Each structure stands twice: as C-alpha cells, then as structure tokens.
Structure 1
Amino acid sequence: MSAFTTETVLAVQHYTDRLFRFRTTRSPAFRFRTGEFVMMGLEIEGKPLVRAYSIASPNWDEELEFYSIKVPDGPLTSKLCNIEVGQTVLVGRKPVGTLVLDALLPGKRLYMVATGTGIAPFASLIRDPETYERFDEVILTQTCRTADELTYGIELVASLKDDPLVGEYIVAGKLILDTAATREAQNPKGRLPARVADGSFFTEHNLPPFNPEVDRGMICGSMEMLASCKAMFEEAGFTEGSVSQPGQFVYEKAFVG
C-alpha cells in the first residue's frame, strides 16, 4: 500500500502574495486527532515531494483543509501555490503531532499561540467541541507582520458563531481572539512575549497573569518564535507535556518551506 492517498482539490483561496488555503477530498479511511499534522504535497516527475502540514480542518469534517505559506524558491510551496480546483495532491496516511488535547493536563484556560501559518492546527482545534468541553476559556493569539496576514484567522473565528457544533460556545464568549500586526503603524502591539512581560496582553483581554495551576498552552510558528514562547511559558512555571506524559504546555516542531 502506498504511504499516500491522492486527494482532489475542491477550493483554493489566496489571501496575500504569501498566504493561501485550499480544501481537498478526504479518504474515508483517513483518521486523525484534531491538531495533528500530516505529510502533504505533490507528485513531481513521478516522485512525491512532501512537507509536514498541519490539518486546519477538524476531525469531523468530510474534507481536508490546509493553510500554507508561499516561498518563491521553496521546492514544494513554489509549485503548490499554483494548484487549481480539480488537480490532485498527496496526503500521507499517518498523521502525527504534539498539539493535541490529550498532551495537556486538565485546566481552566487554553492559550493557543501562533505566528503566520502556525494558526493552522488551532483552526482545527477551535472547530472541535471537545476543546470547549475541556476548557472554560480558549484564547487564540496570532501575530503576523501585516494586518492582511491575519485575515484567515479573523474570518474563521467570525464564521464560528453560526457553526452548528461550536457556535453556542462562541456566542457564550468562550473563545477570545487576539491579533497583532508587528509592522503596522496603526496597530502598535508587539510580539506576545513582550506583551505578556509588561502585562498589556492580560489587561487588554481582562485576563489574570499566567498561572500554571489552571492555564495551559500550545505554540506553533517559526523556530525563533517557538524558542521565545517556550521560554515565556517556562519562565511562568509551565512544564512541557506530551501524549505519553501530559503537561502544562506543548509546541509543534514541524514547519513547511
């Protein structure tokens, strides 16, 4: 059996010259935990060219959604960004990843910290009712360079009010969205670790400071961002977790180029 299934592209949406999303068919046999990633890509000259991609759709969705960056000289993304409806992609059969609810101890608040396309696994998690059943509050933070790079997350959260599975939680205020564009003059908010350090992040959303007894964290983004946000949680007393040994925060090491 091949390590990949061939899925058909059903929709493509470009947000900027650097970001796009697309949806594909989903093999009936494909199963994954919300928040996991999978190897995904194209067949080039008869060989698979794949990278790790978080699945942005929830595990109940009959389709698969991916959110991708465009890298002009990227071996995969320079080609993937040109896909059109009706074309096919390769999707691995074995999803994995650390950004799953079972890797965290029970808590009151869940902080999802993302930069750029790192929001993809959280796009899956905020559409899963189990996320809201496990936590009283879910705080999704995304930091990008410019405001237009925040569009995907903003539009997704806005649409959830009408979602038949999680809409009631959204209307009840269980999901808080925090966005920051670091290069926008009209949006002076900086990177999250600095806003946590000076307290402005908590003040803005009427939240108490980090408390490892009740707060949990998930991190997904660039390697530099992972290092700074991992340090942010560790300085607050959080311990890293895994599925085999749940903890107070987890982070994803896989990223695409």
Structure 2
Amino acid sequence: MIQWISGKVVENFQWSDSVFSLRVITESFDFKAGQFVRLGLNVGGEQVLRAYSVASAPNESILDFVIAKVEGGLLSPLLAELKPGDEVNITQPAGGFFTLDEVPDGDDLWMLSTGTGIGPFISMLRTEQPWRRFKRIVLVHGVREAQDLTYREFINECQQRYPGQLVYQPIVSRESLPEALSGRIPDLIASSELQDACGINFTERSQVMLCGNPDMIQSSREQLKARGLEKNTRRKPGQVTSENYW
C-alpha cells in the first residue's frame, strides 16, 4: 500500500540551467539502489506526482534526486524553485526492478545512461555490490552539453578508490570536449567507437544496464542483440536490462 511521508529540502544544487539535484531528509525507509519513488507537491489543491530514481545509497540519511527541469512541466519547474526548509511529499515504499539483484553475474558491467538516467547508476555505485560482483564497470553518460555531466567529483573519487575497475566515458552531442565522444550511444556501439574508447568489448560475459531516453534504449538494445546480447528477464536471464526514464 502506497503511503506518503514528508521530506524537508536540505539542498537544491544546480548542475546547470536545466539539471539540478534535490536533496531531501526524511524518516528512513527501505529501498534498493536503482529504485524510484514519487515526489509530490500540492498545486492548486491537487497533488502533482512524478517518479524519480533515488541517486543516494540506501543507507544514507539524505535522499538525492537528480532532476531535469522541463519547460512547461507541471512539477519539475516547481521542484527547481524549492529552497532549504521547504517540504516535499514522497511516496513509499520505493518501486521498480532496475536493481543489481535482477542482473546476472558477469565479468563486465556496462551502465549506459542519458541525461538524468545516470541517477540510479550513481546510487548503485554508492553501494559495495557492483564493485564486489564485477571485475570492470563501464559508466557511460550521454548529454547535450558538458555542463550536464553530473557527479563528476563522485566518479573521480570512485576511480581513485577502485583503481582500474571503473571506466568513465562521457558523450557530449552539442559541443566539443577533449575526453568525450560525440554522437548517440547506439551509433557509437554500431561503429565500435564506444568499445574502442573504453578498451572493452561486449561479450557473452558482459552485463549491460540501460537507463534514459526510450529511443536510445531501443536502438541500443538492437545493436547489442546484433552482438549476441539478449534481453534479461526473470524467466529467461540474459545480458541486457533496461528502464525507460521518461
């Protein structure tokens, strides 16, 4: 049964003009890294809800949500205006099956994301599970502009804490960045440019998680299937696990 709890904003961190992290403290509740909750505000006497993945780890006292401000949206522009001390409603229990518990074992774990779809991966990387289960982890983040490459400091800390285990590959489509690739994730898979940049190929021992734009997910799944990687389900375990992020 879905219940409401009240959260208090402790920080509204602006990554860019269109992306922000809303950090909220609330009473503790259980969730798994990769799951989502719904945030809600009372607008004109009605509760307006939207689902957002939690980017913090399950054991952290402050919930972290990375959110894209949608022009003309009913909720995200209002969330973007919240200040420390303001309240926001949160549903519990958390939902969704985009968790590492649903992913079979393998050698390499690819985390392919666009935009705010990086959020659940940040939550997973804040736990011990991926570092314990996989020899190498590849985090790919596709955005339009470099300013939307979120959590860079945390990613750098992970690379220092787990040397040689994490590969981070940014992709920026609308400007040039020396360390970034340019283009769409499925196209870069098709040309093998992504694999070459990361120094790792997709094999039957790879596990791939996709989160973000539905077009990216669909096209990437097609490219991965052409390389012998199948959709992962509970009935038929495979190598590709996905979640549409809007």
Structures share a fold, TM > 0.5?
A: yes
Shift of 1:156: 2.3
3-state SS in 2 of match to 1:202: helix
Shift of 1:241: 2.1
Looking at structure 2, the residues matched to 133 and 249 of structure 1 have their Cα atoms a distance apart, in angstroms, of: 20
Cα gap change, 1:71 to 1:174, in 2 (>3 Å): same
Does the alignment pair 1:202 with 2:200? no
Partner of 2:203: 211
Looking at structure 1, the residues matched to 222 and 39 of structure 2 have their Cα atoms a distance apart, in angstroms, of: 30
Which of the numbers 152, 155, 167 marks the counterpart of 1:154?
Answer: 152
Looking at structure 1, the residues matched to 237 and 50 of structure 2 have their Cα atoms a distance apart, in angstroms, of: 27
Preserved contact between residue 48 and residue 90 of structure 1 (Cα < 8 Å):
no
Gap runs ≥5 in structure 1: 162-166
Preserved contact between residue 24 and residue 65 of structure 1 (Cα < 8 Å):
yes
Superposition map of 1:239-254 within 5 A: 239-242=230-233, 246-254=237-245
Aligned residue type for 1:204: A
Cα gap change, 1:114 to 1:254, in 2 (>3 Å): closer
Preserved contact between residue 98 and residue 250 of structure 1 (Cα < 8 Å):
no
Looking at structure 2, the residues matched to 94 and 242 of structure 1 have their Cα atoms a distance apart, in angstroms, of: 23
Looking at structure 1, the residues matched to 236 and 65 of structure 2 have their Cα atoms a distance apart, in angstroms, of: 28
Gap runs ≥5 in structure 2: none
Partner of 1:25: 25
Shift of 1:193: 1.7
TM-score calculated relative to the size of structure 1: 0.88
Looking at structure 1, the residues matched to 107 and 95 of structure 2 have their Cα atoms a distance apart, in angstroms, of: 26
Preserved contact between residue 119 and residue 153 of structure 1 (Cα < 8 Å):
no
Aligned residue type for 1:176: V
Looking at structure 2, the residues matched to 216 and 82 of structure 1 have their Cα atoms a distance apart, in angstroms, of: 38
- More moved, 188-197 vs 58-67: 188-197
> Matched residue pairs, number?
244
Cα gap change, 1:182 to 1:254, in 2 (>3 Å): closer
TM-score calculated relative to the size of structure 2: 0.92
3-state SS in 1 of match to 2:151: helix
Which of the numbers 189, 213, 216 marks the counterpart of 2:182?
Answer: 189
Preserved contact between residue 5 and residue 92 of structure 2 (Cα < 8 Å):
yes
Cα gap change, 1:140 to 1:90, in 2 (>3 Å): same
Which of the numbers 140, 147, 166 marks the counterpart of 1:175?
Answer: 166
Query: What's the Cα RMSD here?
Result: 1.9
3-state SS in 1 of match to 2:96: coil
Greater RCO (Cα-Cα under 8 Å, separation 6 or more): 1
Partner of 2:219: 228
- More moved, 35-44 vs 240-249: 240-249
Superposition map of 1:64-213 within 5 A: 64-150=63-149, 152-160=150-158, 168=161, 170=162, 172-186=163-177, 189-207=182-200, 209-212=201-204
Looking at structure 2, the residues matched to 103 and 242 of structure 1 have their Cα atoms a distance apart, in angstroms, of: 8
Preserved contact between residue 138 and residue 198 of structure 2 (Cα < 8 Å):
no
3-state SS in 1 of match to 2:74: coil
Partner of 1:164: none
